[in-house]
Amino acid sequence: MKIGFIGLGNMGAPMALNLVKAGHAVTGFDTAAPMPEGVTRAGTAAEAATGAEVVITMLPNGAILRAVAAEVIPAMSKGAVLCDCSTVDVESARTVAADARAAGLGALDAPVSGGVGGAAAGTLTFMVGGDEASFATVSPLFAVMGQKAVHCGAAGAGQAAKICNNMILGVTMIATCEAFALADKLGLDRQKMFDVVSTSSGYSWSMNAYCPAPGVGPKSPADDGYKPGFAAELMLKDLRLSQMAAEGADADTPMGELATRLYESFVEREDGRGMDFSAMLPRFEKRHRG
Ligand code: NAD
């Protein structure tokens, strides 16, 4: 397939590389990042989109996505599909999809779970909003870049699934970290705490797969000085998106709201910027000592 790929950063580069390895012709554009081997560099986003059957975007936020979409939609061939894999607000996803459809294009919002490790290994999960025909067109590419693609519903449904998932993740990570800090205070050994909780009703992905306590559980950023992984500021971005969506939909999300406030304080007023989001554990430890 002829693919345009816009935004080849930490996630986009390995995703594009996997498409190249699978034999697809990929033309890329990024304002700063170098092209991975085998990706043809375009001079502009519009140039990368010209003649492509599918254009994939992997960009930092909704404002940038809207600006890039305004440039690429007029350049795309009728019937081609614009597939955004960034994590953005539901409103931007729906607006971009409507603009693409008005121009005779297919459109999908297809954010991912799995992080840079999953992007490199081709094991991402795609949560996808948009029409059936576009989903069918892009499915072979999802199969190359990931292990699972769930068609969640109409435009915006992929972003809705993503921010709900990450709201749960933010809340459970905080709960796991504060429980470890409490266990410390109570004199409970961290390994024992893991052995119990990871096989009891308090288990979660945060505890079992991404344990925030160094030296406990499978290898995670905690074992590497809390180098991200999934940065605290990206978690804050996703939590803010969840609260923006909750406000727009009049949904009551008190735990999501509190998690947003905690990550906001951690990233903007404490020392969380540049740390993995699981560094909430040393943050709670410090507060206890203070
Ligand atoms: P990144 O900052 O490494 O990559 C974004 C890239 O977009 C950069 O290379 C930047 O130069 C480029 N860019 C910015 N503006 C541009 C423009 N106008 N035209 C072309 N390129 C432009 O970020 P990332 O970690 O690759 O994340 C990308 C998206 O994926 C984000 O929406 C993020 O929330 C989401 N995501 C990230 C992870 C993760 O673990 N990193 C996991 C899941 C989802």
| Segment 211-239, tens digit of pLDDT | 999 999 999 999 999 998 889 999 999 99
> Does the beta carbon of 115 sit less than 6 angstroms from any atom of ligand 1?
yes
Task: State yes or no: pLDDT of 161 exceeds 60.
Answer: yes
Ligand 1 center to residue 59 CA distance, Å?
A: 4
- Among residues 197, 155, 181, the alpha carbon closest in space to that of 288 is found at 181
- Length of the chain as a residue count: 290
Question: For the segment 57-98, what is each residue's pLDDT rounded down to a tens digit?
Answer: 999 999 999 999 999 999 999 999 999 999 999 999 999 999
Distance from the Cα of residue 81 to its chain's centroid: 21
Q: Report the percentage of the chain scoring pLDDT > 90.
A: 96
Ligand 1 center to residue 87 CA distance, Å?
A: 9
- The protein residue whose alpha carbon is closest to atom 20 in ligand 1 is 30
Q: Tell me, yes or no, if the pTM score tops 0.90.
A: yes
> Does the beta carbon of 87 sit less than 6 angstroms from any atom of ligand 1?
yes
Ligand 1 atom at minimum distance from 230 CA: 40
Secondary structure class of 24 (helix, strand, coil): coil
Task: State yes or no: pLDDT of 288 exceeds 90.
Answer: no
> Does the beta carbon of 59 sit less than 6 angstroms from any atom of ligand 1?
yes
Does residue 57 contact residue 108 with C-beta atoms inside 8 Å? no
Question: For the segment 39-56, what is each residue's pLDDT rounded down to a tens digit?
Answer: 999 999 999 999 999 999
- The values of phi and psi at residue 177, to 5°, are -65, -45
